Amino acid sequence: MQKILVARPIFPEVIDRLKQYFDVEWNNGDALPADELTRRLADKDGALTAGDPVGAATLAAAPRLRVVANMAVGYNNFDMAAFNAANVLGTNTPDVLNETTADFGWALMMATARRITESEHFLRAGKWEKWQHDAFLGADVYGSTLGIVGMGRIGQAIARRAKGFNMRVVYHNRSRVAHGIEAELNAEYRSKEALLREADHVVLVLPYTSENHHTIGAAELALMKPTATLTNVARGGIVDDAALAEALRSRRIAAAGLDVFEGEPNVHPGLLTVPNVVLTPHIASASEATRRAMANLAADNLIAALGEGPRAGHPANPINPDVLGKARS
The one catalytic residue among 282, 292, 311, 328: 282
Neighbours of 158 (CB within 10 A): 29
Percent of the chain exceeding pLDDT 70 equals 100
> Does residue 329 surpass a pLDDT of 90?
no
Domain final residue, candidates 246, 262, 279:
279
Neighbours of 303 (CB within 10 A): 24
Question: Residues 70, 118: one domain?
Answer: no
Tens digits of per-residue pLDDT, 156-171?
999 999 999 999 999 9
Question: Residues 197, 318: one domain?
Answer: no
> Does residue 11 surpass a pLDDT of 90?
yes
Question: Residues 127, 161: one domain?
Answer: yes
Question: Residues 185, 251: one domain?
Answer: yes
Query: Exposed/middle/buried for 239, CB within 10 Å: 0-12, 13-18, 19+?
Result: buried
Active-site residue 264, yes or no? yes
Tens digits of per-residue pLDDT, 50-73?
999 999 999 999 999 999 999 999
The one catalytic residue among 264, 308, 311, 328: 264
Question: Residues 118, 225: one domain?
Answer: yes
Question: Residues 144, 259: one domain?
Answer: yes
329: in domain: no
pLDDT of residue 22: 98
Give the range of the structural domain holding residue 65, as residue numbers without chain letter: 3-96+288-323
302: in domain: yes
Taking CB atoms within 8 Å and a gap of at least 24, the contacts of 300-303 are: 301/67, 301/69, 301/91, 301/92, 301/93, 302/4, 302/18, 302/46, 302/47, 302/48, 302/67, 302/69, 302/91, 303/17, 303/18, 303/21
Beta partners for 170? 147, 188
Active-site residue 115, yes or no? no
Question: Residues 174, 57: one domain?
Answer: no
Question: Residues 122, 216: one domain?
Answer: yes
Tens digits of per-residue pLDDT, 173-222?
999 999 999 999 999 999 999 999 999 999 999 999 999 999 999 999 99
55: in domain: yes
* Cβ-Cβ contacts under 8 Å for 159 (sequence gap 6 or more): 146, 148, 151, 169, 171, 185, 187
Opening angle at CA 154, ends 7 and 301, nearest 5: 35
Question: Residues 79, 116: one domain?
Answer: no
Q: Whole-angstrom Cα distance, residue 110 to residue 63?
A: 49
- Asked if residues 315 and 305 have their Cβ atoms less than 8 Å apart, the reply is yes
Tens digits of per-residue pLDDT, 313-323?
999 999 999 99
pLDDT of residue 20: 98
Indicate the Cα dihedral angle 173, 152, 238, 282, nearest 10°.
Answer: 160
Our count of domains for the chain comes to 2
- CATH of residue 59's domain is 3.40.50.720
Neighbours of 15 (CB within 10 A): 17
pLDDT band for position 93 (cuts 50, 70, 90): very high
Question: Residues 219, 131: one domain?
Answer: yes
Torsional class of 256: left (φ above 0), alpha (ψ -120 to 50), beta (otherwise): beta
Active-site residue 282, yes or no? yes
142: in domain: yes
Question: Residues 251, 271: one domain?
Answer: yes
Question: Residues 205, 105: one domain?
Answer: yes
328: in domain: no
The one catalytic residue among 8, 114, 115, 235: 235
